[in-house]
Structure 1
Amino acid sequence: MNYKSIILSLSLLLFSVAVFAQEKKGNLEIVKSPMIDLLQERRVYFENNPVEVRPVDKENGTRSTVLGFRVQIYSGSSRNEAYATQARFQKQYKDIATYVSYTQPNYRVKVGDFRSRSEAQAFMREVKNDYPMVFLFTEQVYVYY
């Protein structure tokens, strides 16, 4: 193949790219569900009017499980350290449940039964100074009705 045919082929290729790459003008139509506006209005309403949180009666309530969040405050191979961490946490936060689990080779101490991620993250920020290795897990948590 000679240089003239290569140059001619490249010229045709560039010309065709330039022709197809021209800007096209048109109309854009946005179609959305009316539920989006309703959800946005509700979110603004609930941000301005927070729901009153009632204390839960764990003794007389019904316990169930839902998908929620727990905060891990310890993970390591020492059983004694895991239970010591659990005891120290229970002294600081008497009303928050703690759970120790063992998956070889590590013990894990997780705390709380949080229904929302934001609630769990706020608690993580609160305990991060005392428990620097905090981590958030999604799992089945206990709730009372």
Structure 2
Amino acid sequence: MAGKKSLLIVLSLVLFSSCGIINIRKSGGSAEMYSNYSEDLRSTRIQFEPLPDPEDSDFESETDAVPIDQELSQRIDQIIRENDKERFLNGFTILIYSGVGREAAFELRNEVYSEFPDIQTYMEYEQPRYLVKVGRYINKIEALATYEKLKSLFPDSRIISDRFLKDQDQQREEEEKIENAER
């Protein structure tokens, strides 16, 4: 009962104030009242020591600087050797099908072959599912162009991150092994 009373009082105050019966004034004054206001904030600011004069520095001339070209070349060669040791590349591919139906996977792969003969299609088996993937791309932007072509025929397709062998011949041999094992 007390809650209803307080709610009624609040609603009536709002109603009367909007009608102009009760005039609620704002605190403060006009902007002119504060036109001469100023405050000194120097005591709260962080103070830094002055920077040293460049002429007084012990740094020697630019002719004494040693070029790092040799070190840079060595590091670049080291990175290249490390990358050559890596057998796999991280990239992107377009997943057309993921399911347990072997025949459905083969049909979909053949449909992609017939509709888009210029696009490379791969079929993988990760127990218990078959995956039909299209293309191998280093950047996602490269995959988007092919994805735009495919999505009208294959609306469930999507771009996924993938990892594949660097050497295409090794990849083809592995795929042939998979196909031969499935037959």
Q: What TM-score, normalized to structure 2?
A: 0.40
More helix by share: 2
More strand by share: 1
Q: Return the structure number with greater relative CO, CA threshold 8 A, min gap 6.
A: 1
State the structure with more CA Rg: 2
